[in-house]
Each structure stands twice: as C-alpha cells, then as structure tokens.
Amino acid sequence: MRIAWNSVGAKARRSITPVCALAIALVAVIIASPASANSKYAAIIVDANTGKTLHASSANELRYPASLTKMMTLYLLFEQMKAGHLDLSSRISFSANASSEQPTKLGVKPGNSITVETAINALVIRSANDVATAVGEKIAGSETAFAQLMTRKARQLGMTKTVFRNAHGLPNSQQVTTAADMAKLGIALREHFPQYYKFFSARSFTYGKTTISTHNRLVTSVKGVDGIKTGYTRASGFNLVSSMQDDQGRSVVGVVLGGTSTRARDDQMRALLAKYMPAASKRDRGPLIASATGPAFEARVAGIRLPKNDIPTPDFRPGTELASNEGGDAIAALMAATNEQSRTSNAPTVQAYAAPLPSARPTVQIDGIQTAATVRPKAPIANAPSAPVQAAAQPAVAVPQPQPASNGWVVQIGSLPSESDAQAVLATTSQKAATILADASAFTSVFEKDGSTFYRARFGGFNSKEAAWNACSALKKRDISCYAVQQ
C-alpha cells in the first residue's frame, strides 16, 4: 500500500503518530479494496447541492438493484399521493399474487389490506416484497404494467441505463441499474417529495403487536445520515444508498453496490462519506433532478379484485436468480436495444399488457407509454414474468374493424385507452403469432369505467374453454401476456 506522503509537508509528517498513520492506511484500504477485489462492486458519491461527482468507481456499469428497486416503487407511490389520488389513510389490498411473494415480507393474507402509511414504512424499514407488489397492483393494475411505469419514470429522471421488471427487486436477469442512476433516484426522492422523505429516516414501526426495526444501520450509527435504502440478493451483493447532511449546509448522496457483506458495505459507505463529505459544497444551487410529471405519465389508481379460480391469470413471478457470470450478454443486448430505440424511433409505441381481471374492471390505463425492447436471457429462466408485447402506433398490417364478439370463449391481450391503441396491439399480436391465431378473429370491445372509455383487444372464435386456454398458453410461450374468458 502506497500513500501519497509527498503531499504532506515534512513538519506535518513528523507530527503524524503511528496510530494516525495506521488509521489513514486503514481508510485507504477500505476505499480501495472493494473495487479491485470484487467484480460486483460499484460506488459513487454525489454532491447533492451541486450535482458534482466527488467519487466514482464503476459508477456507470450495469449492476442488479435488489431492494433498491423499492426506491422507485416509493417514488411512484409518493407521486400518486402528491397528485391527490391517495393519502396516508388510503387502503392497499393484497391479491393472491402479492401475498405469495417471497420473504422478506409483511405477511398480509389475500383479501386483507393495509394503509398507505403502513405500506411506506414496510417498504422502507422492512423492505417487504409483498407490499411492493401490492403497491404496484394498486397503482397500475398489475406488477408488469407498474414495472413499465417504473422504467418510464427512470428515463424521465435521467436514469438512462436502468430497466425495471418488478416492484420489489427479487432476482430478474433483465432488471438492471447503475450506481450513478441510483444516486439520481436518491436525489430525486429528496428534492421532489420533501414532505414524505422523513419516512426514510425512521428507525422502526409497529405492525400489529410487532415492532420492526430498520435494516439501515447507518441511519442509527452515523450522525447526519437520514436514509435511504438497503438491498441484497446473491446476484447483486449488498447494496446501499445513503443520504447525509451536516449543519454547515453540505449534502451528499452515496451509493455502494455489490458489497461482500452487510458490514463490509456499511464500512465502505462510512469511509466514503467521511472522506468526501468535507469536499462537498455548502451552497445549494437548487434542484438537480427535473421532476417529470403530467397527464401522459400519470397512472390511474386501479382497483384490484382477487382472481377467480377458473380463470388463468398472467404469471408475474420473478425469474430464478442467475449465477454471477450468467446473463451478461442478455443484459448488454437489452440495454443496447433500449438505447437504440431511444435514438432511432420518434414515433410513439403502444404497450400491450395483460389484465389480471376477466371482467369489466380494467387493469391499468396509461396514455403514451413507450417501452424498451426486450431480450430473452441466454438460458430459460423458470417462472420468469411474461415480457410485454410491443406494437407500433401505426401497424404495418391491416387490423379488422371493431366487431361484436361471437358467443363462446375469447383470448384478451390487453385493455387500452383508445381504439387505435387496441387495434395496434391486435396487429402486432397477429404478426407475432400468426400460426396460433390462424382461425381466430381480432376485434375490440368497448366499456366504460368511472366515466372513462377503454377498449379491450381480443381474439374470438374459440369454440371451447380448452381451445382458448391452449391458445393463451401458446401465446405466453412467445412472451405475449393474455388470459382466456368466456364471452
């Protein structure tokens, strides 16, 4: 280990005791060793007053976010609260899908509900996966649709390399981020929602008769640290985003990804904050992350009912975790496709998504969603979520005019806010699955919900429940979400 003693004057060198020298060396070891010894490691320290990067190590390289994902889930929840669609006392119901999420979880049973305030505490302090899914379903109707909103919001906030596939951060090979993107999200949460940011500094909350303490040890052990979030999976390592402010006006947001243990991650963050906080500016130059909101990006809060037993619903379970050396090519291709689409396509695209409810209750109605291309991993992933279907706003093939559905069973692809959107989805699905739908007829079905008009994109002509179910199963194998329902 070499330390730049030449920058210290001779007099200063003589005044440094062996103990001080050892302490300096240890800090240097803590800061330097993760980057060289751990391929998952990435870090960044950003001056939250000026936006200046004070330290970066692999900060723009792709990593898995793990439960840092819940920062975006909370961002979208706060956005709904700020818009007046929800408040702290609003109820969030749990579907069977949400309740079945893997631990860590709150353990809410299907059909039960919690308040938004409890949900926020559970996400920040407990890092509850079941609550994250319930929040996503509450806002967007399904977790798949919510993940699309998350990725779209990430682009609005300048998170150019982040892709979300679920609301909680459980392993999915296509869900990726960078340390730099997570720093932007941490700053955005502070800047855009100061009225709710206090939740990130909470040390515990009570659920029923149980008091649950925070996983974020720096909040309780380092003066000035006021959040934000921890995360861990085997593929990601131990992740942490921290916000720190002092009484002189300095403010930084730090990110450490890929720690080898909770302690190693926390020690690394402590060392980085101690080293770079004194270099931060005392002058606040105003907001750093533009707040991108508006009707085109605002989800309507959707009602959730438990699915009926006799109706197949999309499988939103996360993919099986990949080994650290697997899936790299898929991630690179995914990001390349995402960036290429952003550069070359000016025309809006329409997102097809599966509705979990086979009745007049829609899933999510979102105007103007533009999604990234999806890429299959190198190896199949068990229980991977169905990938969304992309459809050009002006389809290349003719779409049948809306027509009444015949009696019998139909396969529904999505529920869209306009007839042209629904027709575009039908056109793309017909192209992608021509052999499966050769004898089916495409049509749209209009319905009203809470004063708004929506259009179901459907294929009819199935003479039995089995035929419709088989067609839907075949479509899912081609990454087309759907469900079968009797007309």
As annotated, the active-site residues are 67, 70, 127
Q: How many Cα atoms sit within 13 Å of 61 on the Cβ side?
A: 14
Is residue 331 within 8 A of residue 62, CB to CB? The reply is yes
- Write down the residue that tokens 């999806």 correspond to: 374
Is the sign of the CA dihedral 161, 166, 167, 171 positive or negative? negative
Is residue 476 a known part of a binding site?
A: no
Q: What residue type is assigned to position 240 of the chain?
A: L
What are the φ/ψ torsions at residue 299 (nearest 5 degrees)? -80, 145
Q: Which of 359, 478, 352, 349 is nearest to 426 (CA)?
A: 352
> Using CA atoms, how far apart are residues 463 and 324, in angstroms rounded to an integer?
47
Helix, strand, or coil (residue 178) = coil
Region for 227 from its dihedrals, namely left if φ exceeds 0, alpha if ψ lies in -120 to 50, beta otherwise: left
**Ranges assigned E (strand) in 426-477:** 441-449, 452-462
**Strands 204-207 and 113-115: what pairing?**
unpaired
Q: Compute the 3-state secondary structure of the chain and give helix, strand, coil in percent, each to the nearest 5.
A: 35, 20, 45
Q: Which residues are annotated as a binding site?
A: 229
Residues annotated in a binding site for substrate:
229
